[in-house]
Amino acid sequence: MSGAPAATALAVHQSHDPARLEALAPEWSALVDAAGVPSPFLAPEWLLPWWRRFGGRRALWILEARDGAGRLEGLLLLASRPALPGVRRWQLLGNGITGADGLDLLARAGAGSAARAAIAGALAAGGWDLLDLEDLPFGSPTAAVLRQVLAPGGVDVEARRRFACPGFAVRGTFEAHVRRMRRRETYGRRVRWLAKQPGFRIEVAAAPDEAGPALEDFLRLHRLRWAAEGGSYGIPPGSVEDFHRDAVPRLAARGWLRLYRLLVGDRSIAAVYGVEAGGTFHYYQSGYDPEWSVRSPGMVLVGRTIEDAYARGLRYYDFLRGEEPYKLDWSADRRELCAVRVRAPSFRASAAVAADGAWRAARGAARALAPERAWAALQRARRGLEAGAAAPAAAEGRA
């Protein structure tokens, strides 16, 4: 491949050595803070545990954009993706399995254009057939820069919408927010009833010494919530739960963890796992005891996390991917995620894309024939297999 990289003063250093990922952690963490709107899903607190748990037999590709003084200005982290024999296929580190949103090239505020141009120029040298950059913020300049730099060499860059992420700007008061809520009367009744129960309280785990026990309680409630439907797709037992056991103490040490639990007496009946960074609360997952479902403890606890966001002066509340009704009850707007596929002008790349098309057609036909419940069970089983396939290699020494 050949392209015409934009002129830039940044040099790109590349590595495939996993040890480099650990060595980068201090600079990488500082770059997250310098990015303007830090995303916890691009931080070492999230991605180092991801690599240790799911790196498995994947290859790693690190591209660092540095200025003349050696300061890290941009970072792109890629992991190899299973593909047809001989096809060199890469995805963003952290994509899949744990459902991280807003993945992208990480750049220092004010240096994004130069960092993207420099890294795109390095990619123009080849070494890949397909780049599957999924779950980028829709409208990310990364796609446009890749197209500008790589298209002259015959590379195809295609972007498509992927998921919607409901949310809202935290402006005004919580009371005004509730008045706009469609189910405000139901919410009010549930809050009043639960508040009268002996021992009712909300606890928030944020410190490292609180994180472990609170997470185990959350995982228990999450499993209970999904048991009747065959198990959770978001956090299946096994290596995905273990990933969160690795990540949560790191998030807490960084000051980003907000793990809420609603208790009645000495028993927690609902939990919300949130990550708060850069003035944004990211609603990651939840769980509740189905025995209490008629009292809607999940709804009450979500409301309390939102009330807390107002009280803490946050900027934005992000429900992340998925337009479930309980999210839409509270939301006023939404962000979108996109998938950017970058295809080299090679037979291998074309064959892989054709195989993808055939797979999607077969998958669509199977889904049309299978009952929804059976299809969901198959999806959960596939996700569990993906996660489990990485676990043996992680146990062999990546941790």
pLDDT tens digits for 38-78?
789 999 999 999 999 999 889 999 999 999 999 999 999 99
| End-to-end alpha carbon distance in the chain | 36
Radius of gyration, alpha carbons of the chain: 22
Question: Band of the pLDDT at 398, cuts 50, 70, 90?
Answer: very low
pLDDT value of residue 363: 64
Whether 397 shows a pLDDT value over 50: the answer reads no
- Ramachandran assignment for 10, one of left (phi > 0), alpha (psi -120 to 50 degrees), beta (any other): beta
Question: Band of the pLDDT at 350, cuts 50, 70, 90?
Answer: low
Whether 393 shows a pLDDT value over 80: the answer reads no
Using CA atoms, how far residue 349 sits from 2, 79, 148, in Å, is 16, 17, 20
Portion of the chain with pLDDT greater than 90, in percent? 78
Question: Band of the pLDDT at 376, cuts 50, 70, 90?
Answer: low
- Ramachandran assignment for 96, one of left (phi > 0), alpha (psi -120 to 50 degrees), beta (any other): left
Whether 395 shows a pLDDT value over 80: the answer reads no
Mean pLDDT of 236-257: 97
Do 219 and 168 touch, CB atoms closer than 8 A?
no
CA–CA distance, 285 with 320 (Å, rounded to integer): 9
pLDDT value of residue 377: 58
Whether 83 shows a pLDDT value over 60: the answer reads yes
Does the domain at 11-164+337-398 match CATH 3.40.630.30? Answer given as yes
Three-state SS at 310: helix
Report, at the CATH architecture level, how domain 171-314 is classified.
3-Layer(aba) Sandwich (3.40)
Whether 202 shows a pLDDT value over 80: the answer reads yes
Question: Band of the pLDDT at 7, cuts 50, 70, 90?
Answer: very low
pLDDT value of residue 6: 44
pLDDT value of residue 86: 84
Among 70-79, 254-263, 364-373, 377-386, the range scoring the smallest mean pLDDT is 377-386
Using CA atoms, how far residue 210 sits from 46, 56, 241, 248, in Å, is 18, 30, 17, 10
Using CA atoms, how far residue 242 sits from 50, 291, 381, 391, in Å, is 10, 27, 17, 10
Whether 219 shows a pLDDT value over 90: the answer reads yes
CA-nearest of 281, 257, 268 to 201 is: 268
Same fold, 11-164+337-398 and 171-314: yes
Among 2-6, 185-189, 382-386, the range scoring the smallest mean pLDDT is 2-6
Do 388 and 238 touch, CB atoms closer than 8 A?
yes
User: What does the domain layout of the chain look like in residue ranges?
Assistant: 11-164+337-398, 171-314
CB atoms within 10 A of CB 384: 19
Residue with the bigger pLDDT between 378 and 24: it is: 24
pLDDT value of residue 362: 63
pLDDT digits (tens, 9 = 90+) for 270-309: 999 999 999 999 999 999 999 999 999 999 999 999 999 9
Portion of the chain with pLDDT greater than 70, in percent? 85
Three-state SS at 116: helix
pLDDT digits (tens, 9 = 90+) for 110-164: 999 999 999 999 999 998 999 999 999 999 999 999 999 999 999 999 999 999 9
Mean pLDDT of 158-183: 96
pLDDT value of residue 57: 87
Place of tokens 């939404």: 334
pLDDT averaged over the chain?
A: 89
